[in-house]
Structure 1
Amino acid sequence: MNLDAPDPVEADADSAAPRGPRGIQSVEVGGQLLIALAHVGRPMALKDLAREAGMVPAKAHPYLVSFGKLGLVVQDAGSGHYGLGPLALQLGLISLQQFDPVRLASAELPALAQQVGHTVAIAVWGNRGPTVVRLEEGPTAVHVNMRHGTVVSLDGTASGLLFAAHRPAAEVAQVLRAESGHAPDAGFAATLAQVRAQGWAARVDGSMPGVSALATPVFDGFGAMVLALVAIGPSAALPVDAASPLLAPLRDAAQAISRRIGWRG
């Protein structure tokens, strides 16, 4: 017996992906079932799950039996449908705890500032409303009275509008009253509805005359907005409409960070 001979399963994986690190092909094949369950987001019948994973039911079933023993999947006794199990839930929660969205976004800021050609910032929701926690200057100079910890206007900034569109209405009303002395009106509600529909927010000459901003949201695995990525620049040089060349890189960066912290879109 040749003890140095490669394992047949591992050898198959090598032939399928010769340039990558060696893996176990059967694990990757069975993993497609877990990916399918995560993608669809609901329990599925065996035939539907197998089809979603690109295999026949007879091939999928043994994998599901093994995953069931590990707690990665569970089978409903009544319908027979398969769903993600308790171990999958535990792994997901642990993964969410390991990824700090601000840290992930901060790592992207220098490259993003160069890509959009303007100063970019990270804003989170703090005790008094939208709060800047990181600022990265871009090649285009902009003079703003802003630093880490600055609380920005809810109505007068792009990040403020973005948070107002995604935070609970009562919370938004409380912050707006403290900021401006009045409650949200129909015009403000219409603006927030537009922000939610288009998926981004902008402000031209808002809190700071001559300065405009464009912001995109980052969502966590529960669909809650956790931070805003904001491009800030001189109003004359920073386009903020739907055709803005800044919108795509901001949105791509926000969605990439969102996916890393569990958002499924």
Structure 2
Amino acid sequence: MPDDLDLPGKDSDTRGPRGIQSVEVGGQLLVALAHHGRPLALKDLAREAGMTPAKAHPYLVSYIKLGLVEQENGGGRYGLGPLALQLGLISLQQYDPVRLATPRIEELALSLGHTVAIAVWGNRGPTIVRVAEAPSPVHISMRHGTVMSLRGTASGRLFAAYLPPAQVLEALRLNETADAEPARFTPTFEAILAQTRATGLAQSRDGVVAGVSALAAPVFDDGGRMVLSLTAIGPSGHFELDEHHTPARELRRVARELSRQLGWREPETMTPAA
């Protein structure tokens, strides 16, 4: 069973609050259904929850009565019931993506030693709304309200990779001056966006500001829409951009955890919205 779906208190010692063991055991059936996202036969569901079918069945009968589980007609597979769906919708409504991500960027700034920011899509494009300074901050213009370049910054490239092309082109038209590149997707820009989608990360080195590098990871909502970026920024000489190194791994890990909290389920491939 994946660690991020373990029940709270599963590994707690005797000093933690006392719970009801049968609730925790039966709860593994709900965890298994939530993890798979589709109805399962009794034997498969029991196996995923680490119990025998005979042990699982009484729990499922009780969950059906509560509306947490429902069974397909004719004694078929078990899936999440109407009460579980209602609870899920209410939980999603309580989550504000920026509020949810704010404490996480503080943790990332401390662990990575780099400034970490949250950017959302604003009226003119990717806009910084939260900044967590590194223990030894680099003097970079990352104030709240700063609109990031779509072509030259990691945050901008990330949004350009995952938002509908028409939306990106409109932002390019609003922000690029008359003597800059026209508002279009050049082959070079397309290649950058394709690489971003392939790795799930955007990067920039010495882009808008010489000597400054950045990595950005996307956070998605329950509809698969990108709602914000987590962006780490630091001096190019001390900033590792490789996707297999710590900054990339940690950004991607936290972004995925936040996405899952917002109801996102990871698809096989991620493409921009139509």
User: What TM-score does the superposition give when structure 1 sets the normalisation length?
Assistant: 0.85
- Judge conservation of contact 2:115–2:234 (CA < 8 Å) in 1: yes
1:53–1:143 distance in 2 versus 1, CA, 3 Å: same
The number of residues matched between the two structures is 251
1:175 shift after superposition: 1.9
Matched, 1:258 2:254: no
Secondary structure in 1 matching 2:17: coil
1:59 shift after superposition: 2.0
User: What TM-score does the superposition give when structure 2 sets the normalisation length?
Assistant: 0.83
1:116 shift after superposition: 1.5
Aligned to 2:92: 96
1:208 shift after superposition: 2.2
1:239 shift after superposition: 2.4
Aligned residue type for 2:31:
I
Cα deviation digits, residues 151-184 of structure 1 (max 9, x gap) = 1111111011111222123222322333343221
1:47 shift after superposition: 1.8
Aligned residue type for 2:171:
V
Secondary structure in 2 matching 1:236: helix
Cα deviation digits, residues 60-100 of structure 1 (max 9, x gap) = 22211211111111112157121111111111111112222
In structure 2, distance between residues paired with 1:241 and 1:18: 42
Structure 2 residue runs of 5 or longer lacking an equivalent are 1-11, 177-181, 267-274
Aligned to 1:213: 214
- Judge conservation of contact 1:203–1:214 (CA < 8 Å) in 2: yes
In structure 2, distance between residues paired with 1:222 and 1:79: 31
Aligned to 2:246: 245
Mean Cα displacement is larger for which, 150-159 or 245-254? 245-254
Structure 1 residue runs of 5 or longer lacking an equivalent are 1-15
Matched, 1:195 2:191: no
Secondary structure in 1 matching 2:218: strand
2:166 to 165, 170, 174: 170
- Judge conservation of contact 2:243–2:249 (CA < 8 Å) in 1: no
Superposed structure 1 runs of 4+ greater than 6 Å apart:
none
- Judge conservation of contact 2:40–2:77 (CA < 8 Å) in 1: yes
Secondary structure in 1 matching 2:89: helix
Cα deviation digits, residues 131-157 of structure 1 (max 9, x gap) = 100112223443333311111111111
In structure 2, distance between residues paired with 1:176 and 1:117: 32
In structure 2, distance between residues paired with 1:261 and 1:19: 31
Aligned to 2:117: 121
1:74–1:243 distance in 2 versus 1, CA, 3 Å: closer
Aligned residue type for 1:45:
A
1:110 to 106, 111, 118: 106
1:225–1:48 distance in 2 versus 1, CA, 3 Å: same
1:61 to 39, 53, 57: 57
Aligned to 2:4: none
- Judge conservation of contact 2:124–2:175 (CA < 8 Å) in 1: no
In structure 2, distance between residues paired with 1:261 and 1:65: 29
In structure 2, distance between residues paired with 1:179 and 1:119: 25
- Judge conservation of contact 1:158–1:214 (CA < 8 Å) in 2: yes
Matched, 1:44 2:40: yes
Aligned residue type for 1:258:
S
Mean Cα displacement is larger for which, 40-49 or 52-61? 52-61
Between the two proteins, what is the percent identity of the paired residues? 64
1:246 shift after superposition: 2.0
- Judge conservation of contact 1:176–1:184 (CA < 8 Å) in 2: no
In structure 2, distance between residues paired with 1:79 and 1:167: 43
- Judge conservation of contact 1:140–1:233 (CA < 8 Å) in 2: no
Secondary structure in 2 matching 1:222: coil
1:81–1:244 distance in 2 versus 1, CA, 3 Å: closer
In structure 2, distance between residues paired with 1:145 and 1:34: 46
For the aligned residues, what is the CA RMSD?
2.3
Aligned residue type for 1:87:
L
